[in-house]
């Protein structure tokens, strides 16, 4: 039985699309999707963390410090806006504050060096007050139910694996 090239191409396209959908992992696990309150902003959470206790939220940003405690790992995060895929974006000046995420399962603090971008799906437990420089700062606190560690983005314009032939009669390397 002969198959036309169009049918073969369509089959490969559909199979490739199905496999592509399986490659990326969801930031919010399916079992938590219905429980996450997407209408709760970080500003609201920061203003009154105790009133949102027990709610599930998604927050992300840049790790400032990670410290192993007796029964959890405490991750201090500088909040950053999330894009459509829930990845932290923007500059630190766009931050709305800090939050603490407590990971109950063992997580080595070395796995989260300062500057690592993370997205946390967690349950609000209230606020934790700690000293930040010379003031007492009330951090919204979350118990981590899922954490996504994002890879470092290297701008493509910085990497030139080949010499550039320019107008001045020869190859030269672009930094």
What per-residue confidence (pLDDT) applies to 4? 52
Q: How far is CA 175 from CA 13, 71, 110, 156, 167, in A?
A: 39, 47, 31, 12, 17
Closest among 138, 38, 49 to 84, alpha carbons compared = 38
Q: Give, for all 175 residues of the chain, the pLDDT tens digit.
A: 455 544 444 444 444 444 444 444 589 999 999 999 999 999 999 999 999 999 999 999 999 999 999 999 999 999 999 999 999 998 999 999 999 999 998 899 999 999 999 999 999 999 999 999 999 999 999 999 999 999 987 666 555 555 555 555 555 555 5
What per-residue confidence (pLDDT) applies to 22? 42
Helix (H) or strand (E) holding 132: strand 117-132
What per-residue confidence (pLDDT) applies to 61? 96
Q: How far apart are CA 117 and CA 132, in angstroms?
A: 21
* Chain center to CA of 31: 19
Ordered domains of the chain (ranges, CATH): 26-151 (2.40.50.140)
Q: How far apart are CA 161 and CA 66, in angstroms?
A: 36
What per-residue confidence (pLDDT) applies to 114? 95
DSSP state of 151: P
Q: 61: which strand partners?
A: 79, 118
Q: What is the mean pLDDT of the chain?
A: 82
Tens of pLDDT, residue by residue over 120-165, are 999 999 999 999 999 999 999 999 999 999 998 766 655 555 555 5
């Amino acid at each position: 039985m002969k198959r036309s090239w169009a049918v073969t191409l369509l089959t490969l396209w559909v199979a490739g699309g199905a496999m592509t959908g399986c490659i990326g992992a969801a930031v919010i696990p399916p079992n938590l999707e219905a429980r996450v309150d997407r209408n709760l902003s970080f500003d609201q959470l920061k203003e009154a963390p105790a009133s949102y206790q027990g709610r599930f939220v998604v927050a992300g940003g840049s790790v400032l410090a990670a410290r192993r405690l007796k029964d959890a790992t405490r991750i201090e995060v500088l909040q950053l806006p999330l894009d459509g895929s829930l990845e932290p974006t923007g500059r630190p000046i766009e931050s709305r504050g800090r939050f603490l995420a407590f990971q109950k399962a063992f997580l080595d603090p070395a796995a989260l060096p300062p500057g690592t971008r993370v997205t946390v799906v967690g349950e609000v437990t209230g606020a934790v007050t700690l000293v930040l420089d010379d003031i007492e700062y009330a951090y919204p606190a979350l118990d981590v139910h899922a954490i996504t560690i994002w890879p470092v983005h290297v701008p493509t314009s910085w990497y030139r694996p080949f010499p550039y032939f320019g107008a001045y009669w020869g190859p030269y390397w672009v930094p």
